Chain A
Amino acid sequence: NAGVTQTPKFRILKIGQSMTLQCTQDMNHNYMYWYRQDPGMGLKLIYYSVGAGITDKGEVPNGYNVSRSTTEDFPLRLELAAPSQTSVYFCASSTTALGTKNIQYFGAGTRLSVL
Chain B
Amino acid sequence: TQLLEQSPQFLSIQEGENLTVYCNSSSVFSSLQWYRQEPGEGPVLLVTVVTGGEVKKLKRLTFQFGDARKDSSLHITAAQPGDTGLYLCAGGPESSASKIIFGSGTRLSIRP
Q: Do A and B come from one complex?
A: yes
Interface residues of A (CB under 8 A from B): 4, 31, 33, 35, 40-45, 48, 50, 56, 58-59, 90, 92, 97-100, 102-104, 106-109
Q: In the complex the two chains form, is A50's CB within 8 Å of B98's CB?
A: yes
Q: In the complex the two chains form, is A43's CB within 8 Å of B88's CB?
A: yes
With A99-B48, A109-B42 already in contact, the answer to whether A40 and B97 are too (CB < 8 A) is no
Q: In the complex the two chains form, is B45's CB within 8 Å of A104's CB?
A: yes
Query: Separation in Å of the A29 CB from the closest CB of chain B?
Result: 13
Chain A residues with CB below 8 A from B44, complex form: 106
Q: In the complex the two chains form, is B43's CB within 8 Å of A100's CB?
A: no
Chain A residues with CB below 8 A from B88, complex form: 42-43
Residue of B44, B45, B100 with highest tally of chain A CB at under 10 A: B100
Query: Which residue in chain B gives the minimum CB-CB distance to A111?
Result: B40
Partner of A109, one of B6, B41, B105, B107: B41
- Residue-by-residue, is B15-45 near A (CB-CB < 8 Å gives 1, otherwise 0)? 0000000000000001101000000111111
Chain B's interface size range is 20 to 34
B85 within 8 A of A: no
Q: In the complex the two chains form, is A42's CB within 8 Å of B42's CB?
A: no
Chain B residues with CB below 8 A from A103, complex form: 45, 48
Q: In the complex the two chains form, is B98's CB within 8 Å of A99's CB?
A: no
Chain A residues with CB below 8 A from B30, complex form: 98-99
Q: How far is the CA of A93 from the CA of B54 in the complex (A)?
A: 25
Q: How far is the CA of A4 from the CA of B103 in the complex (A)?
A: 23
Q: How far is the CA of A35 from the CA of B105 in the complex (A)?
A: 15
